[in-house]
Structure 1
Amino acid sequence: MVSGSDTGPAPAPRALEARLVPTLPPAARPAPSTGPGHTRPPTLEQRLLARRRATLAAERAARAAEPPRETAPMPDPTPVCCALALAATEALRGTRSVAQLARWVSPQVFEQLAARTALTVRVLGRTAATRRPEILRVRVCRLGEHIAEAAVVVDDGTRVRAIALRLEMWRGAWRAVAFEIG
């Protein structure tokens, strides 16, 4: 006995039929409720924006309540002028490294000083340090609250040099932005 599901001829394939679906208008969105329990919670961006606004408002209120602070007067540039003139003179003599001036001068001035020092030491050689250079005269002229120009006369033992420099306030300290050594 043969068991099988073939009991008769196979059914004929059905032809594909297209069914039409009726077109519906788009569903209307429900209006947002205005009641207390039916609001959407604020997004993270909305909460951050509200916090920033509150912080700024509190800072403005605190500033309005405080009396205006007086800014501290800028320090006198004369000691910086003298120290820079002495250090540059010592660098030209070869008794001080030019790298020690890097913090107190702009990058352009540092490059000029380094080139002049290298040339002077190469041509004249390092001079024996008989005595430390001394400042004979200093004239400082403040051109503004953050700008000063100075003329310094330095005796370095073998010659008397005139040094002109321009200082500008940079990050709370005086820094030379122009430097000429005679």
Structure 2
Amino acid sequence: MSDSSTRTPPTRERVATAPAATASADDFGRQKTAVADLPPPDAFAVQVVHGVLEVLAGVREVDQLARWLSGDVYSAVVARANLTARARSARGLPALRTTHAVRNVHVSSPADHVVEAAVIVTTRVRTRAVALRLEGLDGRWRVTSLGVL
């Protein structure tokens, strides 16, 4: 029989661990993406403009554009879509799908991950100018500013 007082406690093996990597706040925020690493900005701008004009006409849900719009732009489009829907309702007009013809697209790049675009669009009734600021964030374009005239 062995004496319990002479028993040695079990030893734990030490596992070698690598030093913890330090992460900065920049690693967790939005990462800027260069224009060269993204699809052509003029084609993206035209698609977004078509989508926004369809939302304002009442034939598309604004949620379909949410992934491409920043929070502020999304809120502004929702507010404007609600105003146009109320105006159509007050006049008793239905939401009609109109054909938008793109006349001109002007693109400039003030910074490596930023593109500013102006898109001129016409319908049978009117011509509109839409100004956009696109930023390359997390590997895709994101609309951070939008103005529909």
Calculate the TM-score normalised by the size of structure 1: 0.60
Unpaired runs of 5+ residues, structure 2, are 1-11, 22-33
Question: How many angstroms apart in 2 are the aligned matches of 1:72 and 1:91?
Answer: 27
Quote the residue 1:159 is aligned against: 126
In the other structure, the counterpart of 1:43 is 14
Higher share in strand: 2
Q: 2: distance between equivalents of 1:166 and 1:181? A: 12
CA deviations on 1:42-94 (whole Å, 9 max, x unpaired) are: 733xx113xx59xx9xxxxxxxxxxxxxx993232111100011111111111
CA distance in 2, matches of 1:72, 1:120: 34
Contact 2:56 2:84 in 1 (8 A): yes
Match of 1:128 among 92, 96, 107: 96
- Structure showing greater radius of gyration is 1
Q: Residue 178 of structure 1 aligns with which residue? A: 145
Do the aligned residues in 1 keep the contact of 2:118 with 2:131 (CA within 8 Å)?
yes
Is this contact kept in 2: 1:86–1:134, CA < 8 A? Answer: no
Greater RCO between the two (CA within 8 Å, min separation 6)? 2
Q: Is the 8 A contact 2:35 2:112 kept in 1?
A: no
Three-state SS of the structure 1 residue aligned to 2:99 is coil
Contact (CA 8 Å) 1:91, 1:117: kept in 2 or not? yes
* TM-score, scaled to structure 2: 0.72
Matches within 5 A, 1:58-137: 73-75=36-38, 76-125=40-89, 126-129=94-97, 131-137=98-104
Which consecutive segments of 4 or more residues in structure 1 shift more than 3 A?
Answer: 41-44
Deviations 1:12-60 (A, max 9, x none): xxxxxxxxxxxxxxxxxxxxxxxxxxxxx9733xx113xx59xx9xxxx
